[in-house]
Structure 1
């Protein structure tokens, strides 16, 4: 944690925002409605279900094809931000978001690129330990996207915070020359800044099919700007700064939980002790 701003109202009417949160319309006789992150009025990601007892989720959908970076901010974000309000970045990216209350968090992260089903995959490891595999499919949840793990820490004896950075499009869509350019810059000491809209979802299994029925706090950052920077940082083992605009109204967390987040994010990183 570098700095936390004060909660502030950002955004434009939902109908005008390039990114907004929505609930899928339920057809007559249909199943539960999905909670969605929409980009340009297309469903981009399915998110954790509203019940709070279903597993944490960010699942990329077939219509997720767009990044939301701003050319006007590229030069400003090529180096580190020292304050969330530095250079008008919050207001610039706020114009992409639906009107609501957001908590700005300025973080330093060292991303690790994760391929679903392989080493380090939260969905195949920690989530299965608490929820077990999906009872219908007999498999772990599958996010349909590579993603980055950046931080985790204990909340208390029976709860743990996990942090993820989720690209809007897969790293394989990135331009190789831009990734290599950032790798070179980072090797010379440059620390660029990425920007994300974020959710905090607190999930606890009602019936555990796993070995550890602990509460999972999922701090998930959906990248607006910084796809090449995050891949470069993961490849080079270097830090980047991340300006997170945490939506307070669309997160599955209570006011007391949200108030604890800055202090939790400032704690030392610690892996979960399984079987507790």
Structure 2
């Protein structure tokens, strides 16, 4: 954690926003409607279900095929920002977002690229420990995308914070030469800045299907700018700055939970003990 700004109103009407949140439309008599992150008119990610007792989720959908960024900000974001209330950057990206209240956070992250089902995967690790496997499929949740793990810490004895950075498209779609350029810059001491719209979802199981019934606070950053930077940082083992615009109205967390986030994110990193 470097700095936190004050909550502020950003964005344009949802119908005009490049990126917005929505609920899936279903026919009469259909099942529960999915909570979605939309890019234009297309659903890009399925998010944690509204009930708050289902497992934490960010699942990339087949229609997620575009990055969301502003090319005009590339040069400015190559260097480090020092103020989460930098109005030029925030307002520029705010033009992409649905109107609402956002909490700006400037974070230092050291990303670790995770492949679902392999070492370090939250969905087949910590989530299974708490929720067990999916009762229908007999498998862990599957996000359908590689993602980055960056931070975790205890909230209290019964809750743990997990932080993720989610690319809008897989890292394999990145341009190899641009990744190499950023790796070279980082090895010379440059700390680039990425930008994300973020959600805080607080989820806790209602049924004792797992071994650890603790609540999971999922701080999930969806990249607006920085796909090449995050991959380069993970490759080089270097930090990158992340300007997070946390949506307060679309998160599955109360106002008090969101208000605690800057202090929680400033704590030392701490993995959750297992077998308790």
Name the TM-score class by shorter chain: over 0.9
* Equivalent position of 2:69 in the other structure: 69
Distance, in Å, in 1 between the alignment partners of 2:82 and 2:61 is: 34
Provide the residue aligned with 2:208 in structure 1. 208
Distance 2:159 2:129 in 1: 13
Gaps in structure 1 of 5+ consecutive residues: none
- Give the secondary structure class of the aligned counterpart of 1:228: helix
* 2:150 is the counterpart of 1:154: no
Q: Paired residue for 2:28?
A: 28
> SS of 2:216's equivalent?
strand
* 1:103-137: CA deviation from partner (whole Å, max 9, x where unpaired): 00000000000000000000000000000000000
Q: Is the 8 A contact 1:182 1:228 kept in 2?
A: yes
Q: Mapping of 1:142-221 within 5 angstroms?
A: 142-221=142-221
Whole-angstrom distance in 1 between the partners of 2:4 and 2:29: 45
**What's the counterpart of residue 41 of structure 2?**
41
Q: CA deviation at 1:260?
A: 0.5
2: distance between equivalents of 1:227 and 1:147? 11
Q: Distance in 1 between matches of 2:192 and 2:143?
A: 27
Aligned-residue RMSD, C-alpha: 0.7
Distance in 2 between the 1:275 and 1:253 partners?
A: 27
Instruction: Return closer, same or farther for 1:223/1:265 CA change in 2, 3 Å cut-off.
Output: same
Offset of residue 85 of structure 1: 2.8
- Describe the superposition over 1:132-151 as per-residue Cα deviations: whole angstroms up to 9, x where unpaired: 00000000000000000000
Deviation of 1:29 (Å): 1.5
Q: Which residue of 2 aligns with 1:117?
A: 117
Cα deviation 1:227-271 (Å, max 9, x = unaligned): 000000000000000000000000000111111100000000000
Q: Which runs of 4+ in 1 moved over 6 A?
A: none
- Asked whether the equivalents of residues 76 and 87 of structure 1 are also in contact (C-alpha less than 8 Å), the reply is no
CA distance in 2, matches of 1:185, 1:196: 21
C-alpha distance in structure 2 between counterparts of 1:87 and 1:210, whole Å:
45
Determine the C-alpha separation between the residues in 2 that align with 1:30 and 1:158. Answer: 35
TM-score by length of 1: 0.99
**1:50 aligned counterpart, secondary structure:** coil
* Matching of residue 132 in structure 1 with residue 132 in structure 2: yes
